[in-house]
Structures are given as C-alpha cells and as structure tokens.
Structure 1
Amino acid sequence: MNSSKRYPEEFKIEAVKQVTEKGYSVAEVAARLGTTTHSLYAWIKRYDPQQPKITEPGDPLSELAKLKKELQRVTEERDILKKAAVYFASQSK
C-alpha cells in the first residue's frame, strides 16, 4: 500500500514556480505546502528543465541568479510593508 500523497500536476507546477520564479527556498515551500523536499526537487527536475540543478558550491553564476531572486522577493515584501505602514499610520490619526 502506497502511503504517499498524490498531488495534481497543476499543484506541482505552482510549487515549482514558488522556487524558480518567486525565489523561495525548497525547504520553505515544501514545509508550507505539506510536501517533502525530495518531492519538490523531483518536480523541479520534471517541470523546469531550464532551471539549473544543484550546482557546485561557489558557482558565481548560480549564486548571482539566486541572489537576484532573493533581492526581488525581499524588495516586494518591503514594498508591501511600506504600504501597510502608511495605511496603519493613517488609521491611527
């Protein structure tokens, strides 16, 4: 009897996008979605063949790409927090 969960293909693709397009870590996405990192790595390999696989540590190009994604994510979060701060400041007056 197989006890592993079966996920729809659309779910897998969206999970992969969280890592490849939004810049979240595999561990973070797996924990949030209730799946395993092993499954998520397999989905990335299957649904995003353009994405570089696990690279050698110190590979400057993959590190640069990773940092750019992280910067974009942090910038988006900062912008959301700025808007929230303005909203709450206006509500407290």
Structure 2
Amino acid sequence: MIHFLVHDEGDSCGVVVVEGIKAGQKLTGWIMDQDRTIEIAVTQDIPIGHKLATRDLAEGDTVIKYGVDIGRVVAPIPTGAHLHVHNVKTKRW
C-alpha cells in the first residue's frame, strides 16, 4: 500500500494520501519520477493531504516539493515528522 507520494527523489517532503497516519507507523512512499518506493517511520500523527519530511531538515533549509521551493524551515524537522505551517514558512514575505 502507498501511504505518501514524492514527485522526485530530490524533494525533501512527500504528501500523505491515506487517512489515519499515526506516530510510529512505518509508511511506504512512491517516488513517481523514478518509479520506486521508500519506507519511512513517522514520528507524529499526520493528516491526509499534509506533508512529511523525507530527510532531516535544519532551520534555514529550503523545502522542495514537486521540484519547487515551497518555503524555509523555521524549526528543525527530523525525517518522518509532520511538515506544515508550524515549522515551514513562505519566502514570499
């Protein structure tokens, strides 16, 4: 079963595509451009449609989704953590 999607292996996050993801679960993700799967253990509950970190991200790092810069990390995000407005901010303003 695929739990999250990643566009390209260079992306630093994936999007959860199933309901009910709970901390401690081991998830399978599909990297679409390379047509391969990866496994990540999540560290937090993550709602469907939200992002998870596919690698450790430090404060100040750029988050890449679908090959595009979507923001700047404002608090460290470990692999498998929920990536959302509490730890990523836009660079637009």
TM bracket, shorter-chain basis:
under 0.3
Higher helix proportion: 1
Normalising to structure 1: TM-score of the pair? 0.26
Normalising to structure 2: TM-score of the pair? 0.26
Rg: which structure is higher? 1
